[in-house]
Chains A and B, each alone.
Chain A
Amino acid sequence: MSEYFSNIKTSATTIATGMGITLKHFFNAVKRKGDAGIDDADYFRQVDGLCTLQYPKEAIPTPAHGRYRLYVNIDDCIGCMQCERACPVECITIETIKATSDDLAVCGKTSGGQQKRMWVPRFDIDTAKCMTCGICVSVCPTDCLYHTPVADFSEFDVKNMLYHFGNLSRIEAEAKKKKLAEQQAQAAKEKAAAGGAAKPGAPAAKPAPKPAPPVGGQAGAATGANTVSGIDF
């Protein structure tokens, strides 16, 4: 019998306690809970209150070192294709056009000082496929490919998830292709002419491609100070 009454007493007191807690929360609804993160020292000292974030209107900022949307700084891209080969889900598609020797100055250098030898008319990143594994970032020799802190980039159409980068427009790309083909045809003709006309001319012709490596070597040495893997290309 005493258990019966003690049960009733326990029920009454626990219900009163519980209702006190819910009522406290109800009246705390006029306040907003602070947005201190779990690593903040005063996380447990925040006021009680509403903790809902109305997401598209309010958001906790992503950390500055966050790795979300993939981005390529196309000005620094040398078109080496290592990222395309490294990507496990094949979300990067690159097209390159070799720059003709008279265009090298126009093609420019990377911010690290390395001479760019490729036009990159197309550098497509399919962010719908990208799983932010970061392998492409680790292989990039010029550090121009990286994940940004932009976390929300949802689209209504999956086609809009395909991000186009590139340093040439379509017309410019056609012109560069044509120019390269012409130059190559010219070179082949010259080579054929040289080969057909005189054999002794061959050793003389040979030094012609040679000057290139010293230039590359110089550039590599220059970038080597700034970038870790700039020399290997």
Chain B
Amino acid sequence: MSSSPSLNTWSDALSGFSIGWFPLGLVIVAVIPLVFIALYALTYGVYGERKISAFMQDRIGPMEVGFWGILQTLADILKLLQKEDIVPTVADKFLFVIGPGILFVGSFLAFAVLPFGPAFIGADLNVGLFYAVGIVAIEVVGILAAGWGSNNKWALYGAIRSVAQIVSYEIPASIALLCAAMLAGTLSMQQITMMQAGPGGFLHWFLFTNPIAWLPFLIYFISSLAETNRAPFDIPEAESELVAGYFTEYSGMKFAVIFLAEYGSMFMVSAIISIAFLGGWTSPLPNIGGLELNTMTSGPVWGAFWIIMKGFFFIFVQMWLRWTLPRLRVDQLMYLCWKVLTPFSLVSFVLTAIWVINH
């Protein structure tokens, strides 16, 4: 860590930068995650998911546009841009239009507290983790606005299911994250990451320093799948029963924004689980004697690399699960949340508390 600049130097310098009265730096700080989400959703999100799902099903996926179909998503976006932006006549136009916006803002706002390396974090709040958990709940409002505003039975069913699911799964997710907060003794995302940094690489991560941490880790991972409406918890969009769930009536760029929000929140929950249990931007490589692998792979740029790679790994696991498991029934969903995950998260909370007291 000695070679890297002090915490948040780059983000502090950037937010202080202004031309005259115009705070250009603050705008750039906000734009960086936006560009990141767009690029990642374009490449890894859509193209990667199509390729990964294809390979898991012995297919080859998009092949025609560009080398191995790499430009397929760009072609799709051009198509979406040209499509007519239909607002149904019987829809509640205000809610219909504002729904995708709220949805996207909900997943985008959480990026403010994600530390992309030791030198860059949008806003190092002392309640960062709490803020991230809370702000994601805004997505529920967007989903409900989209589903209700569409004035369509499938959309409404999807929205109701989604709200019931997200609100339920917030509880085990929050308790699981609370375990990580207890281990770190802070709610600041940057501080939680700092607690897991060290010359031992992955040995300092909460997942490996604590004998119980695997339980809240698993619980949060399962709950985060439900919070992002990913399979096997994709009953809000359930193609085979609800057409497309809450975005049945959407077309053109509004549809694209909903997609972007989904991929944005996929990365967000993956980044949160990496920060809470897998050391965020810290390098997994340990220093072995004279071979200082950890020192070599630490620093602002390496930090961004590691957290993005950790996020991508969890997104890969999300995709992997999607093509493995069938969709849960509504009652099974509620059973899993209230009868399995919530009791186990409370147990892990108590056990973590005991462990923290004794260490």
Which residues 21-59 in B have Cβ within 8 Å of A in the complex? 52, 54-59
Residue numbers in B under 8 Å from A54 (CB-CB): 60, 63
Cβ-Cβ contact count across A and B, 8 Å cutoff:
44
Looking across the interface, which residue of chain A has its beta carbon closest to that of B340? A8
The answer, yes or no, to whether B325 is at the interface (CB within 8 Å) is: yes
Identify A22's interface contact among B60, B323, B339, B340, CB under 8 A: B323
Contact B56 A22, beta carbon cutoff 8 Å:
yes
Contact B55 A29, beta carbon cutoff 8 Å:
yes
Residue numbers in A under 8 Å from B6 (CB-CB): none
Looking across the interface, which residue of chain A has its beta carbon closest to that of B64? A54
Chain B residues within 8 Å of chain A by Cβ, number: 16
Q: Within the complex, what minimum Cβ distance (angstroms) separates B295 from chain A? A: 33
Identify A52's interface contact among B58, B325, B339, B340, CB under 8 A: B58
Residue numbers in B under 8 Å from A29 (CB-CB): 54-56, 58, 60
Q: Within the complex, what minimum Cβ distance (angstroms) separates A77 from chain B? A: 43
Contact B58 A18, beta carbon cutoff 8 Å:
no
Q: Mark A14-55, 1 if CB is under 8 A from B, else 0.
A: 010011011101101100010000000000000011111010
Known: A19-B321, A22-B320, A22-B323. A50 touches B60 (CB 8 A): yes
Residue numbers in A under 8 Å from B320 (CB-CB): 19, 22-23, 26
Residue numbers in B under 8 Å from A33 (CB-CB): 58
Contact A25 B325, beta carbon cutoff 8 Å:
no
Give Cα A25 to B324, complex, Å.
Answer: 11
Which residues 2-18 in A have Cβ within 8 Å of B in the complex? 4, 8, 15, 18
Residue numbers in A under 8 Å from B323 (CB-CB): 22
User: Residues of B at under 8 Å CB distance from A?
Assistant: 52, 54-60, 63, 320-321, 323-325, 339-340
> Contacts A25-B56, A50-B60 given; 19 further ones with Cβ under 8 A?
A15-B325, A18-B325, A22-B56, A22-B320, A22-B323, A22-B324, A25-B55, A25-B57, A26-B52, A28-B58, A29-B55, A29-B56, A33-B58, A50-B55, A51-B58, A51-B59, A52-B59, A52-B60, A54-B60
Q: Can you give 12 A-B contacts (C-beta < 8 A)?
A: A18-B324, A21-B324, A22-B323, A25-B58, A26-B55, A26-B56, A26-B320, A29-B54, A50-B58, A52-B58, A52-B59, A54-B63
